[in-house]
């Protein structure tokens, strides 16, 4: 049994497609896919891997800042003739890199609806090729120029994987449905809206201060928390203002006071439906005896008559759990914010 913890462009000839088809080889009795969607089984020849290993890891395993640089994806490279390949073909994410004529590559292309000789330079996906719930990706190289075409296609492959992973995360995020009742209440009481799943709980912390929090499955394992406060308009917002507000909120409204350690810089301007917005990110550390820490995203948005401060923070101490997925979810919630007062 093989076990791994983690396992379009301007170029005219490159096509990226997601085809939701079931390959004949999988059939109705195919086993469910194994592993996690951020674990990538990369099937590539020994020679090509030796030439491109360092570059491939950099492109396919980008990092996201949490309490450290956490990988977004985890690559497990396997040779086309490896004895364990039969089992690894049942993984959720399988990538076959080869020129036309490769049997596994052709199987993915067939499932994706490609007929005839495939054009080199394709990055194509099909579902359920060897297992149910699987995404299999074919990277079609140029014969005689395998190394050059592989390097050329790497950014497109990475973009495809990230796009589809985000779609997967956001689909799962709303399995429980959206909390439309709380969203309407925020609009009626405070003049802004925010979309978030029904598994989050909403509570008042003080006047004009709202807590939206998800402790599922257990707060010792995972916390996603958002605090929102509307204050009279603040002129000339800076990253320092955001950090000062967050530091005060973290000592006033959180069960365990937090120390705010912001990233360096002047903050990132963001436009949310025409409302001026400034964002700062960084790390929080618990000031209690328990050594908890995590990442945060803090924003300040100018609404008519008010400045709305928002702090979203994550606690996920399990190193085997993807923090990137939860950051995507928090970003999606924050990006849904809209001012309504005066509109």
CATH number at residue 138: 3.40.50
Structure confidence at residue 68 (pLDDT): 85
Full residue range of the structural domain in which residue 277 is found: 180-339
Do residue 335 and residue 241 come from a single domain? yes
Residue 2 lies in a domain: no
Is 80 within 8 Å of 26 (Cβ atoms)?
Answer: no
pLDDT tens track for 236-246: 888 899 999 99
Residue 5 lies in a domain: no
Residue 157 lies in a domain: yes
Structure confidence at residue 118 (pLDDT): 87
Strand, helix or coil at 43?
strand
Residue 36 lies in a domain: yes
Residue finishing a domain among 173, 196, 223: 173
Region 9-23: mean pLDDT is: 33
Do residue 221 and residue 111 come from a single domain? no
Say which residues have a Cβ less than 8 Å from residue 67's Cβ, sequence separation at least 6.
283, 293, 294, 295
Confidence tier at 16 by pLDDT (50, 70, 90): very low
Structure confidence at residue 86 (pLDDT): 92
Is 99 within 8 Å of 148 (Cβ atoms)?
Answer: no
Residue finishing a domain among 132, 149, 173: 173
The answer to whether residue 15 scores a pLDDT higher than 80 is no
Do residue 165 and residue 311 come from a single domain? no
Residue 203 lies in a domain: yes
Do residue 145 and residue 240 come from a single domain? no
Do residue 128 and residue 169 come from a single domain? yes
Residue 11 lies in a domain: no
pLDDT tens track for 230-278: 999 888 888 899 999 999 999 999 988 999 999 988 888 888 877 778 9
Do residue 233 and residue 92 come from a single domain? no
Average pLDDT across the chain, whole number: 88
Percent pLDDT > 90 in the chain is 69
Q: Which two tokens stand for residue 221?
A: 């394992």
Residue finishing a domain among 125, 148, 173: 173
Confidence tier at 200 by pLDDT (50, 70, 90): very high
d(CA 114, CA 125): 11
pTM, two decimals, is 0.84
Structure confidence at residue 14 (pLDDT): 32
Region 57-68: mean pLDDT is: 93
Do residue 113 and residue 239 come from a single domain? no
């Amino acid at each position: 049994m093989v076990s791994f913890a983690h396992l379009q462009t301007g170029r005219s000839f490159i096509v990226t497609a997601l085809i939701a088809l079931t390959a004949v080889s999988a059939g109705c009795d195919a086993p469910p896919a194994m592993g996690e969607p951020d674990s990538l089984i990369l099937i590539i020849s020994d020679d090509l891997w030796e030439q491109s290993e360092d570059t491939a890891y950099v492109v396919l395993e980008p990092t996201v800042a949490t309490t450290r640089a956490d990988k977004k994806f985890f690559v497990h490279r396997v040779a086309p003739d490896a004895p364990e390949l039969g089992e690894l073909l049942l993984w959720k994410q399988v990538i076959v890199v080869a020129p036309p004529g490769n049997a596994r590559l052709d199987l993915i292309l067939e499932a994706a609806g490609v007929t005839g000789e495939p054009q080199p330079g394709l990055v194509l996906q099909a579902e359920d090729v060897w297992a149910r719930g699987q995404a299999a990706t074919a990277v079609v190289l140029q014969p005689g120029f395998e190394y050059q075409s592989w390097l050329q296609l790497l950014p497109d492959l990475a973009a495809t994987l990230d796009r589809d992973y985000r779609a997967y995360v956001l689909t799962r995020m709303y399995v429980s449905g959206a909390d439309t009742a709380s969203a309407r209440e925020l609009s009626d009481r405070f003049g802004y809206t925010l979309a978030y799943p029904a598994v989050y709980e909403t509570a008042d912390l003080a006047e004009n201060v709202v807590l939206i929090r998800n402790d599922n499955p257990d707060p010792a394992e995972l916390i996603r928390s958002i605090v929102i406060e509307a204050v009279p308009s603040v002129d000339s917002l800076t990253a320092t203002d955001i950090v000062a507000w967050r530091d005060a909120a973290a000592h006033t409204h959180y069960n365990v006071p937090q120390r705010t350690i912001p990233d360096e810089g002047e903050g990132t301007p963001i436009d949310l439906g025409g409302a001026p917005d400034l964002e700062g990110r960084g790390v929080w550390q618990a000031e209690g005896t328990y050594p908890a820490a995590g990442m945060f995203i803090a924003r300040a948005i100018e609404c008519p008559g008010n400045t709305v401060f928002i702090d979203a923070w994550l606690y996920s101490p399990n190193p085997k759990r993807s923090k990137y997925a939860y950051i995507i979810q928090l970003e999606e919630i924050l990006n849904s914010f809209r001012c309504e007062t005066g509109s």
